[in-house]
Amino acid sequence: MDCIFCKIIAKEIPSEIIYENDKVFAFLDTNPVNPGHTLVIPKTHNENLIDTEDELLCEIILTVKKIAPAIIKAVGAEGYNLGVNSGTVAGQVVFHTHFHIMPRFEGDGHRHWNKKPYKEGEIGEVALKIIAEL
């Protein structure tokens, strides 16, 4: 498999490891939003969030909960964003499940969303379509 994250887990590619256990691996992003930007990934290869087993997702989020406060304290951030990109159109570049912990600072200029309000009546239609797919 030619997955850069699998190679990082196997230590074939060097990384700044923040945390590791038998299921999860966390390391600093080399192209960070801000210093301390960390990626939390499963040690098994899963393409995206939906492809990842529920038990493993629980382990990942518990790892985020454990290390995020340490990251924030270490870099003096005022908060953080937690991000997961699924699919190319959503900005996923590496197709191995990963969560971003992105430390945030007042005035850092990083913006995540350009919000687009619903048109008249559209919100209810969208809700019904989603419910029908559940």
Q: Which one of the listed residues 37, 96, 98, 100 is annotated catalytic?
A: 98
- Indicate if 112 belongs to the active site: no
Burial of 122 (0-12, 13-18, 19+ CB in 10 A): exposed
Locus of tokens 């930007």: 37
Catalytic positions are: 98
